[in-house]
Structure 1
Amino acid sequence: MSIMVITETAGSDADALALVTRARAAGQTLVWRVCDSVRAVTECVRSSRGEGAELVLLDMDVPEDGDAAGASLTDALGELPVPFIEIHDRDGEGSHPAMVTVVVPGDREAGVDMALSIALRYLAGHERMAA
Structure 2
Amino acid sequence: MRCLIAEDHLLSRRVLKELLSPDFDCDIAVNGREAIDSFVLAHEAKRPYDVILMDIMMPEIDGMEALKSVRSLEKKMQIPSHLAVKVIMITALGDPHTVIKSFNECEADSFIVKPLTRHKLATELRKLNVLK
Q: Taking structure 1 as the reference length, what is the TM-score of the superposition?
A: 0.60
- Shift, 1:115, TM fit: 2.9
Count of residue pairs brought into register by the alignment: 109
Match of 2:130, SS?
helix
Structure 1 unaligned blocks of 5 or more: 65-69, 126-131
- Shift, 1:78, TM fit: 4.2
Which residue does 1:55 correspond to in 2?
51
Identity across matched positions, percent: 12
Q: Give the alignment partner of residue 123 of structure 1, picking from 103, 116, 130.
A: 130
Match of 1:53, SS?
coil
The reply on whether 1:76 has 2:76 as its aligned counterpart is no
**Distance in 2 (alpha carbons) for counterparts of 1:97 and 1:7:** 18
List structure 1 runs of 4+ shifted beyond 4 angstroms. none
Which residue does 1:34 correspond to in 2?
29
When residues 57 and 12 of structure 1 are mapped into structure 2, their CA distance, relative to the original with a 3 A threshold, is closer
- Shift, 1:19, TM fit: 0.8
When residues 3 and 9 of structure 1 are mapped into structure 2, their CA distance, relative to the original with a 3 A threshold, is same
Which residue does 1:43 correspond to in 2?
37
**Distance in 1 (alpha carbons) for counterparts of 2:34 and 2:14:** 25
Q: Is the 8 A contact 1:87 1:111 kept in 2?
A: no
Q: What is the Cα-based RMSD across aligned positions, in Å? A: 3.2
Q: Is the 8 A contact 2:5 2:16 kept in 1?
A: no
**Distance in 1 (alpha carbons) for counterparts of 2:13 and 2:67:** 28
